[in-house]
Every structure is written in structure tokens, then in C-alpha cells.
Amino acid sequence: MAEKCVLAYSGGLDTSVAIRWIADTYNVDVIAVAIDVGEERDYEGIRAKGEKVGAIESIVVDAKQEFFDEYITRAIAANLTYERKYVAFTALARPLLAQEQVRIARERGASLLAHGCTGKGNDQVRFEVTYAALAPQMRVIAPAREWNMTREEEIDYANEHNIPVPVGRKSPYSTDTNMWGRSIECGSIEDPSLEAPEDAWEWTVSPMEAPDEPRYVTIGFESGLPVSLDGEAMGGVELVGALNSIGGEHGVGRVNMMENRLVGIKSRELYECPAATIILEAHRDLESLVLDRETAHFKQHLELKWSEMIYYGLWFTPLRVALDAFMSETQKPVSGEVTVKLYKGRAEAVARKSDQSLYDFSLATYGDADVFDQSSSRGFIEIFGLPAKVVSMVRGLPE
């Protein structure tokens, strides 16, 4: 019996060619696995195509709920953001895809794992680091990194092997989508000195075309988890879907950035992520109301580290798990409601309330209700500023 290889399958040309190429080159049976993490596609069509082009079995896994429950909730707790702008949705989903592949490989007795990533990106790293952690004995095939075919050769190969090649004008862009966002690369986007063309965007209207009236959305959180929209209880998957469309109508969540890939390349990236933008704005705002200052400040450092680790594909590592234990502890008081104003591309938290609020009106007010004893500040500052005073007295005044 031939060895089996489980391939992460997208239904696109590259991974369709990969099915055939792996089977022929390595003399193995290929099992295609497509995973639904909230990209709205014809998954039955994708499944059927996998078999048609030569997989011995083609499987679709609906992982939307798991993606929300195990990955997005942690991303929210840690305010996942890479290089200040990218909510890292592709990076977040890769370990889940790889994890599902490994699970199926075990069930089917497969010894090989494969993905369609090129050798220039981050995704190959994320897949393979996850394989290494979860299935250290399994071998890896990365056809797009190995086959050395040009686009034209790949199309010839597809035609020779009865693999359907998309007809009509091919989109100039390369995209990746899940419920937390959509990425757009290639084509004219590769020239960072040019503004991105309007046709790159699909989820969001141009802020210039957005309604003149703002839309207010109120998001309820319980221990860091978003649980309601405008007062109505809602499951996470549904909530994210709703905010993607509402935010998209207001042009919210467009990102245009230069990004440092793990493999050393700088790339120009476009993202649209309305729901993630709104939820993270609301979540950070609620944290600013309920977290004590020291926890809040320290958490920012760990968020930076956590985000970098997720971007680098280090999900299944002890440090990520340990950092998540910290994040999870900090989320205990993060319950309440935040109202976010969506207006011409902006999402801004404008009002918030919580039973866990640490805001004390009688301490903050400059009005009659003030109970803060201003006379204690004198002694506090004297001691707080003492090190600076000592330095000046010993070494002279600063330049």
C-alpha cells in the first residue's frame, strides 16, 4: 500500500496541481483537507474538485467555532497586533489548519504532511513549526517550494493533467481570508510608492463613499469575551460576521502597511478587518477602564511578545501557553459594555461602562464632590522625584 500524504487544500490552482504533483513525484496517495475558518466559499465544490483532480479522499472541516473559541478569543485577550497595524488573522489560523491536518493524518495512518506555500512567505514557517510540534515524526512536502515551475509551466502541467485552470482574466491579487480578516498582496500593490487601487478592497467601502451618518455599535464583554451586540446576546462567530458587514459599510478596518516578514523580506500589505478593528478598539477601551495601571502597562509588553510569536508561527510552544495564562488572568474583570462610533473609516470607542470599573468619580472630579486629598501629593512627589534630585546634586544639572 502506498504511503499517505495529507495536503492542506484550498481548491485553487496551486494546491490542485500539488495534489497531482505530489502523487506522481513521491508515489503516494494524497488526502486533500480544506478547512473552513469563515471564508465564505463553496466548500462542497472544493471538496469535489479535490477528488476530481486526483486525491484519494477529499475532506472539508468546518472549524469556524473552534477558530473563534480557541484562537480568536485569545487574540482578543492579547489584543493581537503585529507591527502596530496587522491583526495577524492569517498567522492566527495557520496552526489550526495544521492541527486539523495532523489529526486527520493520524486517523488515516498518513506519514506525510504537505502545504502549498511558497518559500518566500511566513505561512510555510507557521505550517511547518506546527507540524514539528504536533507530529515530529511526520515528513513534510512543500510542492510550491520544490517544483520550480513558472506560472506558465504550472498551467501547462494543469492542462496536461486535466486540472481545471480558472478561465477569464485572473485576479491580479493574491488573497487570504478568514473571519478575522482578508489580506491582499501582489499586482500593483507591490509598488509601495503607489496608493492601492480601489478594486483591491472587497469587504469595505471607501471611507469617502461611506454614509454621512455615523453608526454606533455597543459591544458587551464578559471576562474579555465579546458576548453581545447592541444589547442582544450573540455567539462569537455570528458577532464577528455582523461586525464585518456593519464595519465594512462604514469603510472601517482598512490597513495599508509595510511589513517585516520572518524570512527577512519587507512587503507591502493590504488588509481589511472590520470586525477585528471594532472588537479590539472596544476591548482595549474596556481594559483601560477596568485594569489597574500596573497590570495594564505590563500587559502591553507581553502583548507585543505574544503578537510577534503568533506572527512567527510559535503557537504550539510553552511560552505562548504561559503568556496565555497571564492574559487569561487579566481578563477576569474585563466585563462591561463599550460603544464604538463608526464613521467614514474610523472606529472609535466613545462610551464605556462596567461593574468592574476602577474609575472613581469622587477622585477624578474637579467639582464639589472631590474627595482627593491634594496635600498628600506634596510628600509623594518629594520622594518620587528624589532620585532625580540626588543625581543633579551629585553630578550637576543635566545638559
94 catalytically annotated: yes
Taking alpha carbons only, the member of 16, 8, 19, 173 closest to residue 94 is 8
Helix axes 293-311, 318-330, angle to 10 degrees: 150
Site string for ligand ARG, 226-265 (x = CB under 6 A): ---------------------------------x------
Length of the chain as a residue count: 399
**What is the nearest approach in angstroms of ligand ARG to the Cβ of residue 7?**
15
Give the one residue of 15, 16, 122, 330 binding ligand ARG; rule: CB under 6 A.
Answer: 122
Instruction: Please say which residue, 26 or 312, places its beta carbon nearer to ligand ARG.
Output: 312
Closer residue to ligand ARG in complex, CB, 97/349: 97
The yes or no reply on residue 15 touching ligand ARG (CB under 6 A) is no
Near ligand ARG by CB under 6 A: residue from 29, 128, 154, 176: 176
Whether 178 contacts 38, CB under 8 Å: yes
Q: Which of 10, 20, 74, 123 is catalytic?
A: 123
Nearer to ligand ARG, 244 or 307 (CB): 307
29 given a catalytic annotation: no
Nearer to ligand ARG, 280 or 282 (CB): 280
**How many angstroms separate the most distant Cα atoms in the chain?**
86
**Interface with ligand ARG, residue 91, by CB under 6 A:** yes
Q: Which three cell numbers stand for residue 111?
A: 506519514
Using CB under 6 A as the binding rule, whether residue 183 contacts ligand ARG is answered as yes
φ, ψ of residue 264 to 5 degrees: the values are 95, 0
Concerning whether 355 is annotated as a catalytic residue, the answer is no
342 neighbors 216 (Cβ within 8 angstroms): yes
The nearer residue to ligand ARG, 174 or 228, going by C-beta atoms, is: 174
Active site residue 230: no
- 69, 145, 174, 324: the catalytic one is 174
How far is Cα 216 from Cα 202, in angstroms, rounded to an integer? 22
Least distance (Å) between residue 110 CB and ligand ARG: 23
Give the full edge-to-edge strand order of the sheet including 254-260: 174-178, 181-185, 266-272, 254-260
174 lines the binding site for ligand ARG (CB under 6 A): yes
Among 14, 29, 100, 123, binds ligand ARG (CB under 6 A): 123
By CB under 6 A, residue 81 contacts ligand ARG: no
Contact (CB, 8 A) for 335 and 223: yes
- Binder of ligand ARG out of 100, 154, 269, 285 (CB under 6 A): 269
DSSP letter assigned to residue 167: -
Ramachandran quadrant class, 228 (left: phi over 0; alpha: psi -120 to 50; beta: rest)? beta
For residues 37, 38, 41 and 47, what is the CA-based torsion angle, rounded to 10 degrees?
Answer: 20
Indicate which residue of 74, 94, 268, 352 is catalytic: 94
- DSSP state letters, 51-94: HHTT-SEEEEEE-HHHIIIIIIHHHHHTT--BTTTB--HHHHHH
Our finding on whether 58 is near ligand ARG (CB under 6 A) is: no
Choice between 64 and 115, CB closer to ligand ARG: 115
- The residue ranges that bind ligand ARG (CB under 6 A) are 90-91, 122-123, 174, 176, 183, 185, 259, 269
Residues assigned a catalytic role: 14, 94, 123, 174
